[in-house]
Amino acid sequence: MANIYVHVPFCRTFCKYCGFYSELSGRNGTAVAGYVKSLEYEIRERRDSCTDAMHTASCDTLYFGGGTPSLLSPEEVCSIASAIGKRFGIDSFDEFTLEANPDDIAGTSSCNGYLSSLRSAGVNRLSLGIQSFDDARLKFMNRRHDAAEAVAAFEAARNAGFDNISCDLIFGYGGLSLEGWKADINELLALKPEHVSCYQMSIERGSALEKLASSGRYSPLPDDECADQYALLQSMLAAAGYEQYEVSNFALPGFRSRHNSSYWERTPYVGFGPAAHSFDGACIRRWNLPDLSRYDRCYPGSGKCFCQEELTGDDVFNEQVMLSLRRVTGLDPQALDKERLSMERPDLDRLLDTGLLEYVPGTGMRMVRIPASKLFVSDSIIEELFV
């Protein structure tokens, strides 16, 4: 299996917490048109071990992330997807996700036409960045939509025939009470999305939130309150029939994200567009620089607009541990490098003895995982097994 990612590096405004690479632009701006041209050039012409891996594996997911992919017109989405299909000999994608901001959908008079055209372009999964259902909290985040637009966007997507919708929410930030978070989750459950991703707000470098925090105008929520919010999320989603399959991801049966799962399974993927990452499924990681003007000069043209690294044996071991233990399917220690595993065996045994790891039921004590009640502190548990 192999998977393809397209990074769309544009936003109409910047959200307060966001540290992703993106440039300011409106829909159909000239920068977008130039980017699409460069992107299609990269798709056609790029040759490296990651794109080669696409030809030797069967490829079934395509993901447009950002930034704000819903700033692209359906024609641009269709044209980019066709260029990818042509390059890699793919007729259609089993899972074709596009991230969308609610205001790009609900805020337009031609919303139904836009969504139907996306479906015609092959998009069969929509990921909506809702983040909260409270207008004051959305304003604090500097999101462009309000709660009513979030609900309207979701309903418009359903009416347009999208039967696989993911919603993002954010928890664990200063000013969010447990009651407020519970209200957000209840609003989310009322919509019955097939998939839910929830992230704790962190203070990202270069974000507006970082400036507020460093000037004393923002205080993060204490860790114990964040942990309570995470536990509430887990219990409410479980009661509503969602399976948690990764630290931040929950799905109704049959609706886990195949694209994101491929990252955790270390299968090959190729990313196109500024700031997009690629992996050859073995030891080469390559990423385009987060610089649109350099990217536009590079495709077509000359110059280098990417970096690449070859993973060491230690890197591979640590990645396998980290990516496996973030998932409920867990880690198979026998699949790890034997020498490095023997170095880490005492820590592995200690974590099992103290209940920070458990055997996955039904695997005959072969697989280990972090218990659901400890997933909130997964990073610190995982680090203990790094070589």
Identify the CA nearest to 379 among candidates 189, 225, 227: 227
Q: Of 261, 102, 254, 240, nearest to 164 (Cα)?
A: 254
Minimum CB distance to ligand SF4 smaller for 40 or for 104: 104
Q: Binding of ligand SF4 at residue 14 (CB under 6 A)?
A: yes
Which residue among 20, 199, 287, 359 contacts ligand SF4 (CB under 6 A)? Answer: 20
Cα distances (Å, whole numbers) of residue 252 to 57, 196, 200, 229, 257: 28, 9, 21, 21, 11
Q: Could you tell me how many residues make up the chain?
A: 387
Q: Does 328 bind ligand SF4 (CB under 6 A)?
A: no
Which residue type does 282 have? A
Choose which of 67, 102, 193, 268 interacts with ligand SF4 (CB under 6 A). Answer: 67
Q: How far is the CB of 71 from ligand SF4 (least distance, A)?
A: 9
Q: How far is the CB of 284 from ligand SF4 (least distance, A)?
A: 27
Footprint of ligand SF4 on 103-162 (CB under 6 A): 129
Q: Judged by CB, which is closer to ligand SF4: 175, or 300? A: 175
In degrees, rounded to 5, the angle at the alpha carbon of residue 326 between the alpha carbons of residues 322 and 330 is 90
Residue 14 vs 359, nearer CB to ligand SF4: 14
The number of residues that bind ligand SF4 (CB under 6 A) is 11
What CA–CA distance (Å, rounded) separates 332 from 321? 9
Q: Which residues contact 32 (CB under 8 A, 6 or more apart)?
A: 10, 25, 71, 72, 76
Closer CB to ligand SF4, 145 or 340, in the complex: 145
Q: Does 18 bind ligand SF4 (CB under 6 A)?
A: yes
Q: Is 11 in the site for ligand SF4 (CB under 6 A)?
A: yes
Regarding 68 and contact with ligand SF4 (CB under 6 A), the answer is yes
Q: Is 101 one of the binding residues for ligand SF4 (CB under 6 A)?
A: yes
Q: Which is nearer to ligand SF4, 18 or 316 (CB)?
A: 18
Q: Token pair for residue 78?
A: 């269709």
Q: Which helix (H) or strand (E) holds 317?
A: helix 313-325
Give the interface segment with ligand SF4, choosing from 63-71, 162-170, 254-262, 303-311 (CB under 6 A).
63-71
C-beta of 5: minimal distance to ligand SF4 in Å? 14
Name the one range near ligand SF4 by CB under 6 A: 10-18, 31-39, 259-267, 317-325: 10-18
Q: How far apart are the first and last CA of the chain?
A: 28
Segment contacting ligand SF4 (CB under 6 A): 66-74, 183-191, 242-250, 335-343?
66-74
> Based on CB atoms, which residue is closest to ligand SF4, 99 or 344?
99
Among 66, 193, 271, 333, binds ligand SF4 (CB under 6 A): 66
Nearer to ligand SF4, 100 or 382 (CB): 100
Going by C-alpha positions, the residue among 97, 127, 123, 104 that lies closest to residue 28 is 104
Of 114 and 242, nearer to ligand SF4 (C-beta) is 114
Told to check if 200 binds ligand SF4 by CB under 6 A, we report no
Q: Examine residue 333 and tell whether it contacts ligand SF4 (CB under 6 A).
A: no
User: Of the listed pieces 61-69, 178-186, 320-328, 357-365, which binds ligand SF4 according to CB under 6 A?
Assistant: 61-69
DSSP, collapsed to helix, strand or coil, labels residue 271 as strand
Task: Render the burial of 282-316: b for 16+ CB within 10 Å, e for the rest.
Answer: eebbbbbebbbebbbebbeeeeebbeeeeeeeeeb
Q: What is the dihedral of CA 39, 41, 47, 51, to 10 degrees?
A: 40
Query: Which residues partner with 279 through β-bridges?
Result: 269, 285
Query: Cβ atoms within 10 A of the Cβ of 41, count?
Result: 17
Q: Which residues bind ligand SF4 (CB under 6 A)?
A: 11, 14-15, 18, 20, 22, 66-68, 101, 129
